[in-house]
Amino acid sequence: MFKFRARRHLGASALACLVASASVSANQNDDPFWDISLEELGQIRVVSIASGSATPLDKAAAITSVISAEDIAAMGATNLDQVLETVPGLHVNHSDQLFTPRYVFRGITSNFNPQALLLINGVPVTTMMFGNRGNTWGGMPVKAIQRIEVIRGPGSALYGADAYAGVINITTKSAQDIDGVITGARAGSFDTQGAWVEAATDWNNTDISLVMEQQSTDGWRRSVNRDAQTNFDEDFGTSASLAPGPVNTAVDQFDARLEINGDRWDFRAGLQDRRNLGTGPGLAQALDPEGQYQSQRINMDYSYRWLEIVDGLDIESRISYFNFTQEPENDIVLFPPGAFNGAFPEGFLGSPGYKERQVRVDLNSIYSNVEDHRILSGIGAFWADLYDVSETKNFNTDFSPKGEVVDVSDDPDQVWMPEEDRKNYYAFVQDEWQFAQNWQLVSGLRYDYYADFGETVNPRAALIWATTDNLTTKLLYGRAFRAPSLNEQYAANNPVLVGNDDLDPETIDTLELALAYQATSRLYYGINVFYYEIDDLINAEPIAGPVATQYQNSGKRKGHGGELEMTYQLLDNLNLAANYAYQTAEDQDTNKSVGQAPNHQAYARTEWRVVPTWTLTTQVNYVGEQKRSAADSREPVDDYTTVDFTARTRGLWRGFDIAVAVRNAFNADVREPSPYSDPRPEIPGDFPMPGRFAYIEAQYQF
- State yes or no: cis peptide before 546, omega within 30 of 0: no
- In tens, the pLDDT along 74-126 reads 999 999 999 999 999 999 999 998 999 999 999 998 889 999 999 999 999 99
Residue 41 φ then ψ, to 5°: -60, -30
* Strand 64-68 with 116-120, pairing: unpaired
- In tens, the pLDDT along 626-682 reads 999 888 999 999 999 999 999 999 999 999 999 999 999 999 999 999 998 878 899
pLDDT of the residue at 20: 30
- In tens, the pLDDT along 4-48 reads 333 233 333 333 333 332 233 333 333 333 344 333 433 456 667
Overall residue count recorded for the chain in this entry: 702
pTM attached to this predicted model: 0.93
Sign of CA pseudo-dihedral 35, 37, 42, 48: positive
Exposed / middle / buried, residue 205 (Cβ in 10 Å: 0-12, 13-18, 19+): exposed
What is the distance of C-alpha 135 from the center of its chain?
13
pLDDT of the residue at 11: 32
- Inform me whether the pLDDT recorded for 355 exceeds 70: yes
Q: b/e per residue, 512-532, with b = 16+ CB within 10 A?
A: bebebbbeeeeebbbebebeb
Q: How would residue 57 be classed by pLDDT, with cut points 50, 70 and 90?
A: confident
pLDDT of the residue at 16: 32
Please enumerate in sequence order all residues whose Cβ is within 8 A of that of 424, keeping only pairs 6 or more positions apart, or say none. 160, 161, 381, 382, 383, 448, 449, 450, 451
Task: Output the 3-class SS for 471-534.
Answer: EEEEEEEEEEEECCCHHHHHCCCCCCEECCCCCCCEEEEEEEEEEEEECCCCEEEEEEEEEEEE
DSSP state of 594: -
pLDDT of the residue at 3: 35
Element (H or E) spanning 86, and its range?
A: none
**pLDDT-above-70 percentage for the chain:** 92
Quick one: CA torsion of 473, 475, 476, 477, rounded to 10 degrees? 180
**pLDDT-above-90 percentage for the chain:** 85
pLDDT of the residue at 399: 87
Q: Tell which residue, 701, 538, 690, has the closest CA to residue 192.
A: 690
Q: Say which amino acid occupies 299.
A: N
Q: How many CB atoms lie within 10 A of CB 349?
A: 25
- In tens, the pLDDT along 531-576 reads 999 999 999 998 988 888 999 999 899 999 999 999 999 999 999 9
All domains in the chain, ordered by first residue: 38-701 (2.40.170.20)
Contact 317, 260 (CB under 8 A): no
Among left, alpha and beta (phi > 0; psi -120 to 50; other), residue 237 is: left
* Strand 640-649 with 687-688, pairing: unpaired
Residue 335 φ then ψ, to 5°: -135, 145
- In tens, the pLDDT along 112-168 reads 999 999 999 999 999 999 999 999 999 999 999 999 999 999 999 999 999 999 999
Q: Residue 238: beta bridge partners?
A: none
- In tens, the pLDDT along 365-424 reads 999 999 999 999 999 999 999 999 999 999 998 889 998 999 999 999 999 999 999 999
Rg of the chain on CA atoms, in Å: 25
Q: How many helices (H) and strands (E) does the chain have?
A: 7, 39
Please enumerate in sequence order all residues whose Cβ is within 8 A of that of 74, keeping only pairs 6 or more positions apart, or say none. 605, 607, 615, 617, 646, 648
Q: Cα dist. 373→3, 27, 427, 429, 535 in Å? A: 14, 12, 20, 13, 34
pLDDT of the residue at 51: 64
Q: How would residue 494 be classed by pLDDT, with cut points 50, 70 and 90?
A: confident
- In tens, the pLDDT along 168-194 reads 999 999 999 999 999 999 999 999 999
Q: b/e per residue, 358-372, with b = 16+ CB within 10 A?
A: bebebebbbbbeeee
